[in-house]
Amino acid sequence: MIQKQRGTIDILPGESEVWQWMENKIKETAALYGYSEIRLPTFESSELYKRGVGETSDVVQKEMYSFEDNDRRSITLRPEGTAGVVRSVIENGLASGAMPLPLYYLISCFRYEKPEAGRSREFYQFGVEQFGAENPAADANVISLGYDIFKNLGLDVSLEINSIGCRHCRPIYHKALHDYFESCKDDLCETCLDRLDKNPLRILDCKSPVCSEYAKNAPKTIDYLCPDCKKHLDELKVYLDRAGIKYNVNPKIVRGLDYYQRTVFEFISEDIGSKSTICGGGRYDGLVEELGGPRLPGIGFAMGLTRVMLALKSANKIPEFDTAPALYIASMGDSARLKSFEMSLAFKKHGLNVTFDQVGRSLKAQMKYADKTGAKFSLVLGDSELEAGKATLKNMANGETVEVDINDISDIVDKMQN
């Protein structure tokens, strides 16, 4: 038997309803903030991610699903959403349209990682990107959207923010960081040794115990901010305070890409154990230019839906879903089955899920099936019912019956609903 690939999941009926509920809540919240959906290809040129995610990132260094297609082009299954959105914004000329431009996506992403709870090789993300606003009001608005999504899902999360400076103050910070890690160079992991000269900020992100121990005492970005970056962070705090959103300034949060600047943030959930970052985001004012577009600031976040689902489960926040049919029409004989099909279609015009026997089973087997589906009412059609135009509607919960006219669908609907 062929089995699913390691690190992938099947979402089956019963659970897919929960996913739809979660996704609808998220989309409704995004709509309140004026966001429109953008749908993009699942694969892009590998070059896009090398430049858009960064050569020194874990994603590009070891996690990409890349392959050569028949034309010998290097293709990559999207490991994240931002690079593709920026590519599309540039390619479709959206960069010269009305600003700010707020976009969202619901996608699956692919990363070759060691699968564990909350970490899979195909995983789902909800992400937003907003272009064209540099003001801290934009940062606050984007963070507030993330905050509201968790609130609307009934999840308790905490918010950690930081600023990683800009092209003016970052080089000074980089040097301080480089000098600090240089002194413990011999203990760093191989990946971080490589990062030391290329992008020391990345070392702060390393998950190896030794590197993260050293990272604890490393120089902090906020101590190196230039006056403009400091002002930006201070104003963001004012906006968050006004929104009543609590936050903690955490100097350990970094997004180690050159074109990430100023605001970076994470939402943390206590409900998912050690893999507690449920949503991460930041400002990437240099990315559009890096990918060949105009100078256009941007800020966004990506929320890991697989982790949101874990949090919903462990915090017991998943509602009950009623997928049972309103009515099951059992039938005996071909004419009765044909009539039951016709009736089922008429019920759909009233917005009701009504099912009928499509198998040609015995009446006993049909009733057993009706029970299994949890149908709320049942009705049996045979030759005599067809002739008389009448049948018995049965309430499956309490066994009560009432005679109905099989050609008066509205009346049956009334009787089921009252």
The binding site for ligand ATP (CB under 6 A) comprises 80, 111, 113, 118-120, 123, 125, 275, 277-280, 302, 304, 306-307
Contacts 24+ apart (CB under 8 A), 312-316: 312/18, 312/22, 312/153, 312/154, 312/155, 314/271, 314/272, 315/154, 315/155, 315/156, 315/271
CA distance 19 to 35: 20
Residue 70 C-beta: closest distance to ligand ATP, Å:
29
The residue number whose beta carbon is nearest to ligand ATP equals 304
**339, 331 contact by CB (below 8 A):** yes
Q: Which is nearer to ligand ATP, 111 or 262 (CB)?
A: 111
Give me the helix-helix angle, 409-417 and 334-348, nearest 10°: 70
38 Cβ neighbours under 8 A, 6+ residues apart:
85, 88, 103, 104, 105
| CA gyration radius, the chain | 28
Report DSSP state, residue 362. Answer: -
- Residue 63: how many other CB atoms lie within 10 Å: 17
Listed residue (401, 62, 31, 399) closest to 207, CA to CA: 62
Alpha helices in 15-163 (DSSP H): 16-32, 46-53, 58, 82-91, 136-153
Residue 84 C-beta: closest distance to ligand ATP, Å:
13
**DSSP three-state, residue 246:** coil
Instruction: Tell me the three-class secondary structure of 138-154, residue by residue.
Output: HHHHHHHHHHHHHHHHC
Q: Which is nearer to ligand ATP, 299 or 393 (CB)?
A: 299
CA distance 203 to 68: 31
Residue 237 C-beta: closest distance to ligand ATP, Å:
22
Retrieve residue 385's tokens. 């019912």
Q: Which is nearer to ligand ATP, 125 or 221 (CB)?
A: 125
CA distance 193 to 263: 26
Residue 63 C-beta: closest distance to ligand ATP, Å:
8
Residue 39 C-beta: closest distance to ligand ATP, Å:
19
Q: Which is nearer to ligand ATP, 218 or 257 (CB)?
A: 257
Residue 71 C-beta: closest distance to ligand ATP, Å:
29
Residue 93 C-beta: closest distance to ligand ATP, Å:
28
Residue 317 C-beta: closest distance to ligand ATP, Å:
17
Q: Which is nearer to ligand ATP, 176 or 189 (CB)?
A: 189
CA distance 412 to 415: 5
Q: Which is nearer to ligand ATP, 46 or 57 (CB)?
A: 57
CA distance 403 to 407: 12
Q: Which is nearer to ligand ATP, 280 or 325 (CB)?
A: 280
Q: Which is nearer to ligand ATP, 199 or 355 (CB)?
A: 199
Q: Which is nearer to ligand ATP, 61 or 152 (CB)?
A: 61
Residue 263 C-beta: closest distance to ligand ATP, Å:
14
